[in-house]
């Protein structure tokens, strides 16, 4: 395959934004092009990762909308939708286009505008990423799906909710160093104990927030990368896998089998092993999801991920820093933006530009992006510029 | 197998995992809190079912559920 690098990366601040959907997306896209030092006339194709603008803000056909805002009306523009993994599947689409030789320079944007919608309606929209006939119609919510995983996990391994607390506390602490994060607020176990139950055993503090935001990367063929001002962050490997939308049909309920498969493919392609990874941005849409992710990615054995968080192994100065950005939990989770935002954070880290949250000497970064309760899983492995 | 297509009293299952929903979608606004359980039927099939009365009769992993009645959203089970 043709080697691919990231030469531009940018994101908006996540949270409740005054900006409209198109303006958020365009801002991230423009800043990524600025970061790469290029104009829109150098972009040859555009991919937009977005989940449900049709229901959030009555806007489908969003790729050409954003392309036009960015002065890219002349290029092919395509939207990808894989629920919360929409962003990273847009990124993989860009890689395929470059690998196929169709394009050399591609812009990828991930975006979502969620806070303009009443919360109850948002719960309903997110539930549409599950199996409507067998889950949502029966009364399952998105937090409910991960609550089923949390309950199964804690029962199987004899754990209590202090492992969930440890994830939320760590990620809020990490987000303090991230200017793009939705929350800059330290929390402790007492805050979690006081917070409202959403889907037993998950409370409000176990859940990622409802967010607006956008993120963007400029992806180019390595053989043309020299003409850009930024050193290229190398794409070393990637993997995507799928599973049943319905959680109860998964082979196991204490792991996301598709994430394991995606990770195995990415490691094999990169020729790397879990112990080679210097930091990981993983899909902690709920606290339990981070614990399961770190096991699916091979950082810890089954049932060991929660204790590792408690022991500080995944802290910024730990053996394998997980979600130094604050993760979905504290950075925020504008659904379509998340996968791209993980890549942006990885690029910042690998370029040594992550400021207060910089992981010292980061050479290899991994991103893990999940749609629904694991029906789409994407893992990418990135390397420091050569 | 659905509630409509079988003798309702035969519908039982063992709880694999469960949750209690406190923040539902608008369609279930009047129902919360209600239980949801992934169950395995005696035939070895997995399904997800809604469980009523969980405040008085809590669910537990390994415990049983049994079909109770039908409401506007479909079948409702209870802890056995």
CB-closest option in B25, B38, B47 to A141: B25
Confidence of residue A278 (pLDDT cuts 50, 70, 90): very high
Residue B39 in contact with residue B14, Cβ under 8 Å? yes
Is pLDDT above 70 for A266? yes
Q: Provide the residue ranges of all domains of chain B, joining segments of one domain with +.
A: 3-79
The residue with tokens 């005696």 is B42
A333 catalytic? Reply is yes
CB-closest option in B24, B38, B61 to A139: B24
| Averaged confidence pLDDT in chain A | 97
Look at domain B3-79 and name its CATH class. mainly beta
For residue A134, the number of C-alpha atoms closer than 13 Å in the C-beta half-sphere is 15
3-state class of A70 per DSSP?
A: coil
The tens digit of pLDDT for each residue in A178-199 reads 999 999 999 999 999 999 999 9
Q: A372: phi > 0 → left, psi -120 to 50 → alpha, else beta; which?
A: left
CB-closest option in A139, A196, A248 to B28: A139
The tens digit of pLDDT for each residue in B48-74 reads 999 999 999 999 999 999 999 999 999
Distance between B1 CA and the closest CA of chain A, angstroms: 12
Cis geometry, peptide bond prior to residue A201 (ω within 30 degrees of 0): yes
The tens digit of pLDDT for each residue in A203-253 reads 999 999 999 999 999 999 999 999 999 999 999 999 999 999 999 999 999
- Interchain pair B38, A247: CB under 8 A: yes
Q: Which of residues 321-360 of A touch B (CB under 8 A)?
A: none
Predicted local distance difference test score (pLDDT) of residue A1: 86
What are the φ and ψ backbone dihedral angles of A137, each rounded to 5 degrees?
-65, -25
CB-closest option in B24, B46, B47 to A141: B24
Helices (H), A59-114: 62-69, 86-99
Is pLDDT above 80 for B10? no
Give yes or no for A197 touching B (CB within 8 A): yes
Give yes or no for A292 touching B (CB within 8 A): no
* Alpha carbons A97 and A359: distance in angstroms, whole number: 32
Give yes or no for B2 touching A (CB within 8 A): no
Instruction: Give the angle A247-A314-A308 at the CA atoms, nearest 5°.
Output: 70
3-state class of B19 per DSSP?
A: strand
Predicted local distance difference test score (pLDDT) of residue A103: 98
B16: chain A residues, CB-CB within 8 Å = 152, 248, 253
Strands A77-80 and A45-49: parallel
Distance between B27 CA and the closest CA of chain A, angstroms: 8
* Alpha carbons A341 and A349: distance in angstroms, whole number: 12
Give yes or no for A377 touching B (CB within 8 A): no
Select which of A84, A207, A285, A377 is catalytic: A84
Predicted local distance difference test score (pLDDT) of residue B6: 46
Is pTM beyond 0.95 here?
Answer: yes
Chains A & B: contacts with CB separation below 8 Å? 89
- Interchain pair B19, A135: CB under 8 A: no
Select which of A103, A172, A333, A368 is catalytic: A333
The tens digit of pLDDT for each residue in B14-37 reads 999 999 999 999 999 999 999 999
A207 catalytic? Reply is no
Predicted local distance difference test score (pLDDT) of residue B79: 97
CB-closest option in A148, A196, A248 to B47: A248
Give yes or no for A138 touching B (CB within 8 A): yes
Give yes or no for A164 touching B (CB within 8 A): no
Nearest CA in chain B to A253: B17
- Interchain pair B26, A148: CB under 8 A: no
């Amino acid at each position: 395959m043709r080697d691919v690098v990231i030469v531009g990366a940018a994101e908006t601040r996540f949270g409740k934004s005054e900006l409209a959907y198109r303006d958020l997306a365009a801002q991230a896209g423009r800043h990524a092009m600025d970061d790469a030092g290029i104009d829109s006339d150098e972009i040859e194709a555009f991919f937009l990762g977005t989940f449900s603008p049709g229901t959030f803000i009555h806007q489908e056909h969003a790729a050409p909308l954003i392309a036009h805002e960015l002065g890219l009306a002349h290029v092919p523009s395509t939207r990808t939708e894989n629920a919360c993994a929409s962003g990273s599947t847009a990124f993989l689409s860009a890689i395929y286009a470059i690998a196929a030789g169709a394009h050399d320079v591609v812009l990828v944007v991930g975006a979502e505008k969620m806070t303009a919608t009443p919360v109850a309606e948002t719960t309903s929209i997110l539930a549409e990423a599950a199996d409507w006939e067998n889950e949502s119609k029966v009364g399952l919510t998105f937090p409910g799906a991960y609550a089923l995983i949390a309950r199964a996990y804690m029962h199987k391994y004899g754990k209590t909710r202090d492992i969930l607390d440890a994830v939320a506390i760590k990620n809020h602490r990490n987000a303090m160093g991230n200017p793009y994060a939705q929350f800059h607020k330290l929390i402790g176990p007492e805050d979690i104990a006081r917070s409202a139950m959403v889907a037993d055993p998950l409370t409000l503090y176990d859940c990622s927030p409802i967010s607006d935001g956008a993120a963007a990367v400029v992806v180019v063929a390595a053989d043309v990368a020299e003409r850009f001002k930024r050193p290229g962050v190398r794409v070393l490997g990637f993997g995507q896998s799928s599973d049943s939308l319905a959680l109860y049909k998964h082979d196991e309920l204490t792991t996301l089998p598709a994430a394991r498969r995606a990770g195995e493919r990415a490691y094999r392609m990169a020729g790397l092993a879990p112990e080679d990874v210097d930091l990981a941005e993983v899909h902690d849409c709920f606290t339990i999801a981070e614990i399961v992710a770190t096991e699916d990615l091979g950082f810890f054995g089954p049932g060991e991920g929660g204790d590792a968080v408690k022991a500080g192994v995944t802290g910024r100065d730990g053996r394998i820093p997980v979600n130094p950005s604050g993760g979905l939990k504290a950075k925020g989770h504008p659904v379509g933006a998340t996968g791209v935002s993980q890549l942006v954070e990885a690029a910042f880290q690998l370029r040594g530009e992550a400021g207060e949250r910089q992981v010292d000497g980061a050479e290899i970064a991994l991103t893990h992006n999940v749609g629904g309760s694991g029906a789409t899983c994407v893992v990418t492995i990135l390397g420091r510029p050569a | 197998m659905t509630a409509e297509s079988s003798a309702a009293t035969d519908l039982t299952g063992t709880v694999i995992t469960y949750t209690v929903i406190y923040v539902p979608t608008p369609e279930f606004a009047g129902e919360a809190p209600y239980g949801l359980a992934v169950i395995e039927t005696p035939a070895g099939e997995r399904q997800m079912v809604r469980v009523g009365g969980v405040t008085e009769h809590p669910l537990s992993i390994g415990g049983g559920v049994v079909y109770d009645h039908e409401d506007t959203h479909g079948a409702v089970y209870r802890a056995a």
